[in-house]
Structure 1
């Protein structure tokens, strides 16, 4: 369990935002094939929050019934994976990368490691790109960024009413 805190998060475009009060339970990395496909990545970082401590604050996710037991919530506009939901459970799982401050929640476990990439142990040995982005490119990206900022906004895109 993580320390109690109020946390916010949402999708990349800002169409779906949520707020969590209280503890995040069992923050972990799931390596199962279903999570890999849902994330479009090698694993899915997630943690549980009691439904009574979870609130959607903007928009609503779309849902995909990934099995008879589980549905997955995502933004219908930008596709960001947001939730892993077992509808009859007292909790909902949030994708840790969708938090405004994902670095604040450290996973405590890994699950379904039979599908974990066999080469993960070699990642720290990969060479690093020698040069960061050029200042001109960084400035051009920053000036044209359409991604929602990592904090709640009264409206989004900025200047529109919510």
Structure 2
């Protein structure tokens, strides 16, 4: 069963609708994805390019001779990875309006993963609203906490 899901960048300039066939996602740990996302890994969902409709297409950066990465040039959100000669692509899980549907099914490019970041569930957990410094700033700026 397929569902249409929406997503986009932080500032809203790049929006998409995607036909999703599966809940499967994966974590990529390659050095290019680490640099692209500014993180130790990035969560991605693979799908057909034909199953993605863009209100405004992403800006692209040719990250290597074989691949490109879509992003928003205004806010910097990482959105896509693809091989230009392929019929498939990846969308970033976090760019979906509701990323909670997806489940990681495998790790990719494990030769460059950072093992200390793989299982963090036993670390102390702090909610955003438990940080008075951040809460105070949000309340002064706009009178409420962000969604």
Same fold (TM over 0.5): yes
Aligned length: 144
What is the rounded CA distance, in whole Å, between the counterparts of 1:140 and 1:12 in structure 2? Answer: 21
Contact 1:75 1:81 in 2 (8 A): yes
Contact 2:15 2:54 in 1 (8 A): yes
Confirm whether residue 139 of structure 1 aligns to residue 136 of structure 2. Answer: no
User: 1:160 aligns to what?
Assistant: none
What is the rounded CA distance, in whole Å, between the counterparts of 1:103 and 1:141 in structure 2? Answer: 29
- The structure whose residues are more often strand, as a share, is 2
User: 1:13 aligns to what?
Assistant: 11
Question: What is the TM-score normalised by the length of structure 2?
Answer: 0.84
Q: Displacement, 1:33?
A: 0.6
Question: What is the TM-score normalised by the length of structure 1?
Answer: 0.77
**Structure 1, residues 5-27: CA drift from partner, whole Å, max 9, x if none?**
11110000000000101325851
Q: What do you get for the CA RMSD once the two structures are aligned?
A: 2.6
Worse-matched range after superposition: 107-116 or 130-139:
130-139
User: 2:39 aligns to what?
Assistant: 41
Match 1:89 to one of 59, 64, 86: 86
Flag the 1:126–1:86 CA change in 2: closer, same or farther, 3 A: same
What are the ranges of 5 or more consecutive residues in structure 1 without an aligned counterpart?
Answer: 150-162
